[in-house]
Amino acid sequence: MRHLSLIAGLVLIAGAVQAQQLDWWQTGVIYQIYPRSYKDSNGDGIGDINGIISKLDYIASLGVAAIWLSPIYKSPMADFGYDISDFRDIDPLFGTLDDFKLLVAEAKSRNLGIIMDMVPNHSSDEHEWFVKSEQKIEPYTDYYFWQPAKGFDPNGAPIPPNNWLSVFGGSAWAWSELRQEFYLHQFHAKQPDFNYRNPAIVQELKDILTFWYDLGVYGFRWDAVTHMFEDPALPDEPVSGNPVDPNDYNYLKHIYTQNLPETPYTLSLYKAHTDEYSLNAGDGLHRVMMLEVWNPIEEVMQYYRNVSDFPFNFRFLTTMGAYSNGRDAENAIRGWVDNIPDNGWPNWVVRKTGF
């Protein structure tokens, strides 16, 4: 789930930590804005950056610490901006880079931070990197997860390397006539997966983080991080037993395409990069790194420690319904607190239901 309304950095729990030791992200509320539907400033029916700027006084009056923006990068919009064609620019639907710089400055003047969405698993197939990778232009040849066909059917059609499925349904493999290979897309076919076994991609994303930190952002919410690595041996994934269509994502157990051990390690490199930037900036600001992880709680907890400031705690959304009571709330809280590692900081994701 990508579009949530409110993330509480601290609700209910402070423990024995003294107030003067707490940072802004530990005591503040982070408020999500989905820019497309938030506030339209120019009458085109699409929310934009200037619309957000016009509402900053209201947002500040809520007492929040920072605003988290869903993707506003340049994009063909095959997946509402999660297919990014330029990680260093703003899509014209939302405004310009200068508009964004103004947003950061105006927010800061009201003691508000701006947090960006980071989409680390993939880019758009219209990104310059993919266009060049498809042509095998160095150094981009191995920026994405390419594989040869397993074979060809009697009609000459290429056969995908294995049975892996896309979250959006159907095969997770798309054939490139130009390159004569398949590329992996765990989401939309226009969202080719990066190859994180190539250190050049790791460095590219570090450079992107630095670009936005230099513009004053307070950190990033990282989308769908558990999909970042795949088993290079390409084994078929086992059937889950769920009574769904064989093309449905839930038809398989995703043991070779989700939550691989390399993922937390690679994220820890970005955490170290972020912490180093914060230290060297000399402004006392901690840039936050928060992760979207929907896995079982024992798997979620591995994304604490040196991997991020926190993985999202969705228990208020996933374990409580319309008729939940105080006991249910206590169980949701204890389920997180009892599993959190030493020095891990709790967070509580909640949904705003009114205006």
CA 204 to chain centre: 16
Q: How far apart are CA 102 and CA 186, in angstroms?
A: 35
| DSSP of 146-199 | EE--SEE-TTSPEEPSS--B-TTSSBSEEEETTTTEEEE-SS-TTSPBB-TTSH
- Residue 174 has phi, psi (to 5 degrees) of -125, 140
Q: How far apart are CA 222 and CA 183, in angstroms?
A: 23
CA 329 to chain centre: 27
Q: With both helix axes pointing from N to C terminus, report the angle between 199-214 and 262-281 in degrees, rounded to the nearest 10.
A: 30
**Beta-bridge partner residues of 220:** 116, 289
Active site residue 117: no
Active site residue 126: no
Kindly state the DSSP code that residue 346 receives in the 8-state scheme: P
Q: How far apart are CA 63 and CA 254, in angstroms?
A: 41
Radius of gyration of the chain (CA): 21
Q: How far apart are CA 215 and CA 207, in angstroms?
A: 13
In this structure, what token pair is assigned to residue 110?
């009201």
List 83, 91, 134, 223, catalytic entry: 223
List 125, 181, 237, 292, catalytic entry: 292
In this structure, what token pair is assigned to residue 239?
């059937």
Q: How far apart are CA 61 and CA 84, in angstroms?
A: 32
Active site residues: 223, 292
